[in-house]
Amino acid sequence: MPGPPRRAATIYDVAREAAVSISTVSNVLNKPERVARPTRERVLAVADELGYVPKSSAAHLARKRVGRIGVVAPFTAYPSYLQRLTGILRGASGQQLEVGVFDHESAATAATPLLASIPVRGAVDGLIVMGSSIEQVVEERLLAHGVPVVVVDADSGAFSVVTIDDFGAGRTAAQHLLDLGHRRLGYVLERQEAEYESQARRRLGGFREAVAEVPGATLEVVSCLGTAAAAEQVAAGMLAGGPGGRPTAVMAHFDDLALGVVRAARALALRVPDDVSVLGFDDGPVADAADLSTVHQPFEESGEVAVRLLLQAMAAAVAGAAAPQRQTSVLDCSLVQRASTAAP
């Protein structure tokens, strides 16, 4: 005769077994940056072992036919991820899916522990992680629990990836300016704290390579925080000119930084594009509104592709079948010329 059903684990059980306070467990799940990594990992290991499910997720478990996917991205740092989310929501439409959104800090400014704090068992049936590589220890945890994951706009050696060719896109951007006749070029790069081969570094690498192939072409690179105001400040110094003269064209890592360059040019009474061409990257609403030349990224398409890949992995997990083979989907970028670039 079967025994009584096992009592669901509570936050008190997790705290007792991990030898920490209730508030520490709460912080691990909701404000992980407040908890030291060893403690955070111990609490999460206990939560996984006990099968602890937060109340909000427990309610989801009762709705047996509705799946829940989590979307992790730096939404407040980069509006472009809201466009990717639009594609995700479109792809999830009609699929009996709930979509939960988790915001995290930009990987350019900090290595966020948020992903490590998401309760794996019962909280989500799949994850889409955007704009941040997953730490190896977190990858191992997700793999161990069989959580389907798709990574967008970052690298992963374990999960399927949806990305663009940032190196090739950087070359495309440089080639546009070189073909217009520019030979003194500038580049505004978002400053990066963590040491990894980010999309920003790959994009600059492609740009730099294309410039190096043209005799007599020069490149000046400056870096700043990821805001238009910060870009305006560093671009002002660049456009003021030095011993080698000022650049006649400036590329920025993304559109908001390019707008900062435009502002700096205007403050110095330089005309865009007559005195200096400015090129952005992303082709979001701000680029269209500012008539900014840029490189177009397929944001919404990347979200739709991510959902399709995740649904395939989730279906295999439900059926108890082997996970689909890891895929890398590389989406095309294209140059959009508007009013901010012209021949020198």
pLDDT tens-digit profile of 5-24?
A: 456 677 788 888 889 888 88
What's residue 276's pLDDT? 98
Q: Which residues are bridge partners to 98 per DSSP?
A: 68
Map tokens 């490590």 to a residue: 116
pLDDT in tens, 258-288: 999 999 999 999 999 999 999 999 999 999 9
What's the confidence (pLDDT) of residue 113? 44
Q: How far apart are CA 86 and CA 71, in angstroms?
A: 12
If pLDDT is split at 50, 70 and 90, which confidence band does 53 have?
Answer: low
Tokens for 59? 């309610």
- Residue 316 Cα distances to 105, 137, 164, 245, 320, angstroms: 32, 24, 26, 60, 6
Checking if the pLDDT of 61 tops 70, the result is: no
Mean pLDDT value across residues 88-116: 74
What's residue 261's pLDDT?
98
Q: Is the confidence at residue 64, as pLDDT, over 90?
A: no
pLDDT of 139 reads 86
**pLDDT number for residue 245:** 86
Contact 181, 343 (CB under 8 A): yes
62 pLDDT band (50/70/90 cuts)? very low
Tell me, what's the pLDDT at 115? 59
pLDDT tier at 28, thresholds 50, 70, 90: confident
Contacts for 94 with CB less than 8 Å, ≥ 6 apart: none
The answer to whether 85 and 299 are in contact (CB under 8 A) is no
The predicted pLDDT at position 289 comes to: 95
pLDDT at 249: 98
Q: How far apart are CA 279 and CA 249, in angstroms?
A: 8
What is the average pLDDT across 114-121?
Answer: 54
CB 288 within 8 A of CB 277: no
> Is residue 181's pLDDT more than 50?
yes
Higher pLDDT, 267 or 155: 267
Q: Is the pLDDT of residue 117 over 70?
A: no
Backbone angles phi, psi at 245, to 5 degrees: 85, 165
pLDDT in tens, 191-246: 876 665 678 899 999 999 999 999 999 999 999 999 999 999 999 999 998 667 89
Residues in the chain, overall count: 344
Amino acid at 57: S
Residue 336: beta bridge partners?
294
Contacts of 242 (CB under 8 A, 6+ apart): none
91 with 80: CB under 8 angstroms? no
Residue 25, pLDDT > 60, answer yes
Which among 56, 55, 18, 22 is positioned nearest to 40, based on CA atoms? 18
Average pLDDT over residues 114-134: 73
Question: For residue 250, what are the β-bridge partners?
Answer: 186, 278
**Strands lying side by side in the sheet with 249-252:** 218-224, 184-190, 249-252, 277-279
